[in-house]
Structure 1
């Protein structure tokens, strides 16, 4: 059974995380320029506006959050200003940040793409693959991990055996890299899943057993569960056609929460499918992993 956890009506809901300390979910609406907080048990919901497109959010060890806006990474706490921290691509003004996540070592990883948004949030055509992956340490030092070669950057997951999983939505492919945690390098990229005819790969999370849960955006209306070698284990049909990101939450991390989008959808479609852009909850039969926090151990 899949429940509507919150009728967010996000334009592009993304980057959902679970705060075990607060028993609360945080996620962003990229085009809506806002950050959500929801306590599922009691129903309390808070909302904060952002000064630009907000693309990702992660928790910090010393409190507050690290967030990606259009081209720059900031520190932020609810009710406070956005404090500039790091700008991964100062020389590529036509790119924007997209995916972003705190890695197990406490660093913050972000990936870029050619911007697909006009300043008013309307869609803008893309004509190149110019996205890359970056690692930002606790001092704000940026290391470029790949060439600028991806279309729409999505999915970040680090396996216990030293692999990094990543997706290019535009290519309909999920990749596995070898990751050296000592030198912070990505090598040996290979495609582990491609061409699945249920939408396109968007955000993902790992469960405690190490399998990948991947949201299938752009009409996929499903969350796909893959082994880390790319074998499809199962598909869960969703009541929203554009599921975008997911995380495990709840006291025992056994509830899978899924954000969604209503970007570019016609009024007639939204009238027939009013749950588009909502936040959903389901029991996937497995448990997830606690979210790491950004901090000094990454330096």
Structure 2
């Protein structure tokens, strides 16, 4: 496992690989930024926003769809907001957007994180090709772990503060059925955060507070675990020329100065070579 380059963020999340340009994108939620980095050239750029960017996806038409705290927007290539898609269906004073991405039809999903943590007040919504937004799931404290099986029959999500991964059956149009508990985690052994699925249908999860990432079979069995030199990984994605590199974001949010001194790579992005290629994230498709 290696460090991608000399970078330390506050809360890096939503790593997204663009195969066309061989570029890694990610958001630093608390710094209100989206970064992009080309490993081959070492080129690093930053787009600045006026609110936290919980998640985003690349668009087929160019630019991004971004979930800011108050609303979801379309942007042009350099991040300038061009069209509001919808307001945050949660109360933006209490819930910011968090994890998200696209499904196998190219629709954009965005979940929220319920800040007060007094009940499961967060949700998961979806933006379709007509830019219509639908709330799909509620009863969530912190939406995370969005990923889809290669055959398009299952959607995976996690609720990090509640230590659970769910899976939801999808019909032929990709619409969700009844959510079910897929895997729970005991307290003190890491919480399931951001995730991705490989070509064998195995689910890779960043185990926040757990010092590691893990690969689970479609049946939920642990197949691999990889230890990190930092306590809190936040999300993983596949990339590289053959989709056999796992990029891992980590955080230093709410980490003491003493811990950062002991573990200075907190907030860095790591790379891990893997044997099974990952699923490519589709770009957001608009009509």
The interval holding the TM-score normalised by the smaller chain is over 0.9
Which shifted more, 281-290 or 11-20? 281-290
Aligned partner (choices 159, 163, 168) of residue 172 of structure 1: 163
Residue pairs, 1:36-185, within 5 angstroms: 36-83=35-82, 84-89=84-89, 93-115=93-115, 125-146=116-137, 148-159=138-149, 160-182=151-173, 185=175
Residues 82-111 of structure 1, C-alpha deviations (whole Å, 9 max, x = no match): 232222406665222111101110111111
SS of the residue 1:192 aligns to:
strand
Shift of 1:286: 1.6
Computed over aligned residues only, the root mean square deviation of the Cα atoms, in angstroms, reads: 1.7
CA–CA distance in structure 1, aligned partners of residues 228 and 62 of structure 2: 34
1:288 equivalent in structure 2 = 278
Distance 1:62 1:263, change over 3 A: same
Which stretches of structure 1, 4 residues or more, deviate above 6 A after TM superposition? none
1:204-226 C-alpha deviation (Å, 9 max, x unpaired): 00111110100011x21111101
CA contact (8 A) 2:104 2:152 kept: no
- Determine the C-alpha separation between the residues in 2 that align with 1:52 and 1:205: 26
Aligned length: 284
- Which deviates more from structure 2 when the two are superposed, residues 59-68 or residues 81-90? 81-90
2:54 & 2:252 partners in 1: Cα distance? 16
Give 3-state SS (helix, strand or coil) of 1:22's partner: coil
Q: Residue 258 of structure 2: SS of its match in structure 1?
A: helix
Q: After the TM superposition, which of the residue ranges 261-270 and 92-101 deviates more from structure 2?
A: 92-101
Contact 2:11 2:252 in 1 (8 A): yes
Give 3-state SS (helix, strand or coil) of 1:270's partner.
Answer: helix
Instruction: Give the alignment's TM-score, normalised by structure 1.
Output: 0.90
Q: Is the 8 A contact 1:198 1:222 kept in 2?
A: no
- Relative distance call for 1:264 and 1:28 in structure 2 (3 A) is same
After superposition, residues 263-278 of structure 1 pair within 5 angstroms as: 263-278=253-268
Cα shift readout 1:2-44 (whole Å, capped 9, x = no counterpart): 1000232111110001001111100000011111111111211
Counterpart-to-counterpart distance in 2, 1:80 and 1:169: 29
2:183, 2:206 → 1: CA distance? 13
Quick one: distance in 1 between partners of 2:246 and 2:101? 18
1:154-190 alpha-carbon deviations (Å, 9 max, x no partner): 01111115111110001111011111243x5422322
Instruction: Quickly say closer, same or farther: Cα 1:93–1:138, change in 2 above 3 A.
Output: farther
Partners of 1:203 and 1:181 in 2: CA distance: 25
Residues 222 and 238 of structure 1 are in contact (CA less than 8 Å); yes or no, is this contact kept in structure 2?
Answer: yes
Greater mean alpha carbon deviation, residues 150-159 or residues 184-193: 184-193
Q: Aligned partners of 1:133, 1:181: CA distance in 2, in Å?
A: 20
Residues 254/80 of structure 1: CA separation in 2 closer, same or farther (3 Å cut):
closer
The whole-number CA distance in structure 1 between the counterparts of 2:164 and 2:172 is: 24
Q: 1:52 offset after TM fit, Å?
A: 0.3
- The residue that corresponds to 2:13 in the other structure is 14
TM-score (norm 2): 0.94
Alignment partner, residue 258 of structure 1? 248
